[in-house]
Amino acid sequence: MTPRSGLDITTSGTAVDTAALISLPWDVPLAEWPDSALAALPRGLSRHVVRFAHLEGAVVAVKETTESSARREYQLLRRLERLDVPCVEPVAVVAGRIDPDGEPLPTVLVTRHLRFSLPYRAVFSRRLHRDTLTRLIDALALLLVELHLAGFYWGDVSLSNTLFRRDAGAFAAYLVDAETGELHPSLSRGQREHDLELARVNVAGELMDLMSGGLVEGDVDPVATSQLIIDAYRRLWEELTADMSFRPGERWRVEERIRRLNSLGFDVEEYAIRTTRGGSELVLQPKVVDPGHHQRRLLGLTGLDVQENQARRLLRDIDEYRAVNHPEMDEHEAANRWLIEVFEPVAQSIPANLSGKLEPAEVMHQLLEHRWYLSENQSRSVPLDEALESYLQTVLPHRRDEDAVVLHPTTTMLKVLELPSENYD
């Protein structure tokens, strides 16, 4: 139906978005919207009436609330968006709604639905492996850290106010409901601790609710699981906010910092090195990833098809190469330059008598590890050429020959060559 005059639409979208918004049945209470206007997507729990609707080939979430709350949340989400904080995209505030009898209807906040995302009840009701559950919890902890670093006090931390997204092997959590939030230049320790306490209590309660309905495995401990969020948050906050400045000859400390994040279960999506008066400082962007993510990303960037741990280490070197040498390049261009200027020269430098020891990707992986250990022991950034010379003299000759299993040309049977025992690790 066409809404009555007096409809007040505030939006930052295009004219097409506005025209499409006007076509929705605003003179009908949201709970009574016809199926023809709605999208069949799973909804989380909410104190408000929330529905998903089709809008010009996209899907939006429509929430009934008060006009003051809708306008405040709309502006807050727009500010968070500009800060590049993971949250839903605000589309519009629609006020001035009246039904056919002239009775006022609640104002609505319209946000764009986050594709491929699920509310927690849809995620946790599946029979998740424990390591997957841990990654989801880490994603929520990471979201809270990102919000706090941006100066956002949530005020209602819960699974219900979060969407989880699994995209290209990465797990991410997104803020959905900012109604109780506040944005400050920075947060005090007390504000952060209050959000953490809310997370602990709310998440435990939500998991207990799932267990009572038989929607989650019985061996999941709600209290212990909610505590995992707090523990992950504290470790990540300390690692991201601790002072990290270094002199030009101490780039090995960057690797040390990333290793500590890896040991906490977090990967690094990207990092930047910024020059300061006293040297340089490191800015990290962590994320939570699924097994196989690095292998797929490296294959897409370079065409190298290697194992997961090898890919993780090579990607880290590509990121460092880009940050130090070509920060202006996109990752695909930088990866191609790294392939030509770093990887291929290393592969070509392997003497013929050692070429059967390891595949080139493993050689590169071990070389980078060797350089890091040399740098750490010597408290300086050892150049790659120097590390390569050391590696070829002291490490590679003692590795077992991985080309020792060959296919017999006539019998097509595997033949294992006998090697001296000292050639094995």
Mean pLDDT for all residues in the chain = 79
pLDDT(401) > 60: no
- Structurally, the chain folds into a number of domains equal to 3
| pTM of the shown model | 0.63
- Kindly report the CATH number assigned to the domain that includes residue 96: 3.30.200.120
Has residue 62 been placed in a domain? yes
Co-location of 130 and 108 in the same domain: no
Q: Both 102 and 159 in a single domain?
A: no
Residue 347 domain flag: no
Does some domain include residue 322? no
Q: How confident is the model at residue 413 (pLDDT cuts 50, 70, 90)?
A: very low
Can you tell me the distance from the alpha carbon of 339 to that of 304, in angstroms, rounded to the nearest whole number?
Answer: 9
Query: Do 107 and 198 belong to one domain?
Result: no
Alpha carbon distance 416, 425 (integer Å): 17
More confident residue, 236 or 87: 87
**Which of 288, 315, 349 finishes a domain?**
288
The last residue of a domain, from among 255, 288, 321? 288
Residue 143 token pair:
């979201």
Is residue 134 domain-shared with residue 174, that is, in the same domain?
yes
The answer on pLDDT for 420 being more than 50 is no
Is there a domain that residue 234 lies in? Answer: yes
Residue 168 is part of which domain span? 118-241
Q: For position 249, what pLDDT does the model report? A: 59
In a domain, 85, yes or no: yes
- Give per-residue pLDDT as tens, 240-262: 776 555 555 566 666 677 767 66
pLDDT exceeds 90 at position 198: yes
Q: Is residue 341 part of a domain?
A: no
Q: Can you give the pLDDT at residue 416?
A: 30
- 399 within a domain of the structure (yes/no): no
- Give the pLDDT band of residue 273 (cuts 50, 70, 90): low
Q: Is 291 exposed, middle or buried (0-12, 13-18, 19+ CB in 10 A)?
A: exposed
Domain assignment of residue 90, yes or no = yes
pLDDT of residue 422: 34
- Domain containing 231 — which CATH number? 1.10.510.10
Same domain, 217 and 152: yes
